[in-house]
């Protein structure tokens, strides 16, 4: 019992540390795993604390419906006189309201405001009061907002904050109330006071900024008023592979010291907290080493197997780079438990001479950077070590193009190409094929949807033709609406397999299919069963080849298999997607689909575990 109690206390500390860094997904995973491992044989109060943390972290990640489900499953609301429990309930309702667009938005804002107001009436404190005031204001109930903002100021006067954390919340609450009342100068003074309390973590500052930014936008107040509580920014980095000494290239070895100094100056000038990129010799490793020296969180994304990556991106640059690569990997892996580092593989296979995998990994890293910046509500930048001379579109130039097309800021440290061979990714790549003369088909990053129908197995044989006419015909009609983007479609029995050209269209198509299935009453068609569709999605590089049985083009490969393993573990009526697809959706900058984190999910047929997200149309 004592050992389990110690484990629970350590789990709570660990989860709080991850949350504090803004590593919400890892924090949610840690809480979920700890609760599953410890079971019920622990102190009820500490178990409640971990459950409460789990719900709060999921809510902070933006997964509002998942947070509501956990809140209800854990019976957090049973603590009627617990301020944290009651305000967490209201916070989830607030998040739902803020995601709503159209005529229902104000109604939901009022409901959330009244929820906070009820908490304040029963448990008088400044926190529920100021949230009620802000929600009344956002719902265009200005008179009520001003009245409750004044109640907030009175509540703050009655409170006696002790310690940095209490002082921070006190100052932030006063700032919010003064903003609502139109006193920007007093608000600025309290924001600056809050900003002096350095012990306050990223997650808390992010929550403050998001809340105050809503008021600033509505009142057309310049957002620089919030600079004092900003969170360090997120960086995506890329750059040329360095040449071996004396061999020139796009990044000559002779310029290493110059580039290192420029990187140090860049990090002096920009407040960076988290960085994402690869670990090729030269630019990537120099930036990574600088991040490690400064304690910046570092998350490396490698395009394919480690051995192939070493051959393609390290060995040609001369002695020393392999050792530095291993040191960076070791630091990232050792820091993973704290949420400060990680090494991920965009694909789990070999290079096979396919240069497109470099760009696929780059896009994956970009999407992860965008997800983290979105969660932290902070600046997002790119740093590139680049000679400015273009290329094949799969290296540094390709990354810069994708980044700038997305409208994001890119800073460049220029290197000057010297005489000698140009070193680019994929040069002289040996391909070890099992059969001499065998050529591989083309491999392309594509979005893949797999689905099957819950309830189909209970249909009698006489109803199967009716099922195809009523159910599959409706799915087909939706696919027809996306025909310009559908590259392949197939079905067998109750299974659906679709390949589309981009993640955003696939997400829209999958949600459209679920809407059609969800809204139709198949009993009226004579099918006496509740039918629901499980749909899984993934975005990854797949082979385009020939189906020799059907005598038509088809897509295949390990990423098709991965997508197929998602569908069986997806709840009926939902669309689950992988982190790779979530990253691709983030890069698309969509604003109509919510991509909520679910957690690590064991896949079918012992295929391992993957971090999964659920897609939903924004209300």
Strand partners, 386: 414
Q: Are residues 126 and 244 in the same domain?
A: no
Strand ranges in 548-608 using DSSP code E only, listed in sequence order: 552-556, 575-578, 593-602
d(CA 239, CA 104): 47
- In angstroms, the CA 117 to CA 441 distance is 63
**CATH code, 197:** 1.25.40
Q: What CA–CA distance (Å, rounded) separates 301 from 297?
A: 13
Q: Is residue 242 part of a domain?
A: yes
- Give the count of beta carbons closer than 10 Å to the beta carbon of residue 405: 9
Percent of the chain with pLDDT over 70: 95
Instruction: Please report the pLDDT score of residue 619 as a whole number.
Output: 65
Tell me whether residue 574 is in a domain: yes
Q: Is residue 131 domain-shared with residue 2, that is, in the same domain?
A: no
pLDDT bracket for residue 418 (50, 70, 90) = low
The terminus-to-terminus CA distance of the chain in angstroms comes to 46
> In terms of domains, do 571 and 527 share one?
yes
Question: For residue 430, what pLDDT is reported?
Answer: 38
For residue 437, being part of any structural domain is answered with no
Do 385 and 499 fall into the same domain? Answer: no
Helix (H) or strand (E) holding 57: helix 44-60
CATH code (residue 553): 3.30.70.1230
Asked if residue 433 belongs to a domain, the reply is no
Band (pLDDT 50/70/90 cuts) for residue 391 is confident
- Please check the confidence at residue 424 and state whether its pLDDT lies above 70: no
Q: Quote the pLDDT of residue 40.
A: 66
pLDDT of 491 strictly over 60:
yes
Radius of gyration of the chain (CA): 26
Q: Give residue 603's pLDDT.
A: 78
Q: Would you state the pLDDT for residue 432?
A: 41
Highest mean pLDDT among 21-35, 368-382, 429-443, 520-534: 368-382
Residues 6+ apart with CB under 8 A from 273: 22, 202, 231, 232, 233, 234, 296, 297, 376, 378
d(CA 202, CA 207) in angstroms, rounded, equals 9
Q: How, if at all, do strands 380-386 and 410-414 pair?
A: parallel
Chosen domain end from 14, 42, 58: 58
- The predicted model gives 399-405 an average pLDDT of 94
397 and 272 fall within a common domain: yes
Are 219 and 254 part of one and the same domain?
Answer: no
* 306 confidence band (pLDDT: 50, 70, 90): very high
d(CA 454, CA 568): 10
> Average pLDDT for residues 33-46, to the nearest whole number?
75
pLDDT at residue number 417:
67
Helices (H), 335-472: 356-376, 396-405, 464-467
Helix (H) or strand (E) segment spanning residue 447: strand 442-454
Judge if 214 and 264 occupy the same domain. no
Residue 422 lies inside a defined structural domain of this protein: no
On whether residue 434 sits in a domain, the answer given is no
pLDDT tens, 428-442? Answer: 333 343 334 446 777
Q: Are 445 and 360 in contact (CB under 8 A)?
A: yes
534 and 491 inside one domain: yes
Domain ends where: 187, 208, 229? 229
- Report whether pLDDT(513) > 90: yes
Question: Last residue of some domain: 206, 229, 252?
Answer: 229
Sequence-distant (≥ 6) Cβ neighbours of residue 585 within 8 angstroms: 367, 503, 504, 507, 577, 593, 595, 615
Quote the pTM value.
0.86
For 358, phi then psi, to 5°, come to -65, -45
- List, as one string, the DSSP characters of 484-547: TTEEEEEEETTEEEEEES-HHHHHHHHHHHHHHHHH--GGGGT--S--EEEEEEEEEEEEEEEE
241 and 207, same structural domain?
no
> Which of 148-157, 288-297, 345-354 has the least mean pLDDT?
345-354
Domain count, the chain: 4
Give the three-class secondary structure for 190. Answer: helix
In terms of residue numbers, what domain contains 92? Answer: 59-229
486 shares its domain with 574: yes
Higher-confidence residue of 348 and 283: namely 283
Predicted local distance difference test score (pLDDT) of residue 441 = 76
Q: Is there a single domain that holds both residue 131 and residue 179? A: yes
pLDDT digit string, tens, across residues 208-259: 999 999 999 999 999 899 999 999 999 999 999 999 998 888 999 999 999 9
Q: Is 442 in a helix, a strand, or coil?
A: strand
Q: Same domain, yes or no, for 474 and 535? A: yes
Residues 6+ apart with CB under 8 A from 391: 397, 398, 424
Pairing of strands 272-277, 233-239: parallel
State the CATH number of the domain containing residue 366. 3.40.50.450
pLDDT (tens digit per residue) in 68-111: 999 999 999 988 889 999 999 999 999 999 988 888 999 999 99
In order of 313, 358, 438, 528, the CA distances from 431 in angstroms are 15, 16, 11, 55
- Is the pLDDT score of 276 beyond 90? yes
pLDDT digits (tens, 9 = 90+) for 575-606: 999 999 999 999 987 778 888 888 888 877 77
In a domain, 302, yes or no: yes
């Amino acid at each position: 019992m004592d050992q389990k109690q110690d484990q629970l206390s350590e789990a709570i500390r660990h989860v709080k540390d991850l949350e504090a860094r803004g590593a919400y997904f890892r924090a949610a995973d840690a809480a979920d795993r700890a609760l599953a491992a410890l079971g019920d044989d622990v102190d009820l109060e500490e178990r409640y604390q971990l459950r409460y943390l789990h719900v709060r972290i999921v809510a902070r990640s933006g997964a509002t419906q998942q947070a509501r489900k956990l809140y209800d499953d854990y019976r957090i609301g049973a603590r009627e006189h617990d301020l944290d429990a009651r305000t967490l309930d209201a916070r989830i309702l607030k998040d739902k309201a803020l995601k709503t667009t159209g005529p229902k938005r104000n109604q939901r804002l009022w409901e959330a405001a009244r929820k906070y107001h009820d908490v304040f009436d029963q448990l008088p404190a400044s926190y529920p009061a100021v949230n009620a005031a802000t929600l009344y204001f956002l719902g265009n109930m200005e008179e009520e907002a001003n009245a409750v903002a004044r109640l907030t100021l009175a509540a703050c006067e009655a409170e006696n904050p002790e310690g940095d954390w209490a002082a921070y919340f006190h100052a932030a609450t006063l700032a919010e109330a003064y903003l609502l009342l139109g006193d920007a100068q007093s608000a600025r003074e309290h924001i600056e006071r809050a900003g002096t309390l350095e012990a306050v973590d990223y997650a808390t500052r992010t929550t403050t900024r998001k809340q105050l930014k809503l008021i600033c936008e509505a009142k057309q107040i310049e957002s620089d008023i919030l600079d004092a509580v900003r969170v360090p920014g997120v960086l995506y980095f890329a750059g040329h592979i360095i040449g071996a000494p004396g061999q020139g290239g796009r990044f000559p070895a002779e310029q290493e010291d110059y580039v290192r100094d420029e990187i140090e100056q860049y990090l002096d000038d920009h407040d960076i907290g988290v960085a994402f990129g690869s670990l090729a010799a030269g630019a990537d490793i120099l930036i990574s080493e600088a991040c490690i020296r400064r304690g910046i969180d570092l998350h490396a994304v490698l395009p394919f197997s480690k051995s192939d990556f070493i051959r393609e991106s390290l060995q040609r640059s001369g002695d020393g780079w392999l050792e530095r690569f291993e040191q960076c990997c070791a630091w990232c892996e050792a820091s993973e438990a704290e949420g400060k580092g990680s090494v991920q593989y965009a694909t789990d296979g070999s290079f096979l001479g396919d240069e497109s995998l470099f760009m696929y990994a780059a896009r994956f890293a970009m999407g992860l950077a965008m997800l983290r910046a979105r969660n932290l509500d902070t600046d997002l930048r790119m740093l590139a070590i680049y000679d400015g001379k273009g290329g094949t579109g799969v290296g540094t130039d390709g990354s810069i193009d994708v980044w700038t097309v997305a409208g994001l800021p890119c800073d460049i440290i220029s290197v000057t190409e010297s005489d000698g061979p140009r070193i680019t990714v994929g040069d002289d790549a040996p391909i070890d094929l099992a059969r001499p003369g065998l050529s591989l088909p083309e491999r392309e990053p594509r979005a893949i949807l797999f689905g099957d129908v819950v309830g189909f197995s209970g249909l009698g044989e006489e109803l199967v033709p009716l099922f195809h006419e009523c159910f599959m015909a409706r799915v087909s009609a939706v696919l027809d609406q996306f025909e310009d983007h559908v590259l392949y479609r197939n079905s067998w029995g109750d299974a659906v397999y679709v390949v589309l050209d981009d993640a955003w269209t696939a997400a829209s198509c999958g949600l459209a299919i679920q809407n059609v299935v969800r809204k139709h009453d198949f009993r009226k068609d004579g099918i006496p069963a509740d039918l629901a569709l499980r749909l899984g999605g993934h975005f990854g590089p797949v082979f385009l080849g020939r189906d020799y049985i059907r005598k038509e083009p088809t897509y295949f490969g390990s990423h098709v298999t991965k997508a197929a393993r998602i569908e069986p573990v997806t709840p009926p009526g939902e669309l689950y997607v992988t982190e790779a697809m979530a990253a691709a959706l983030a890069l698309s900058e969509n604003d109509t689909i919510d991509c909520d984190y679910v957690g690590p999910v064991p896949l079918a047929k012992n295929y391992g575990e993957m971090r999964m997200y659920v897609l939903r149309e924004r209300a």
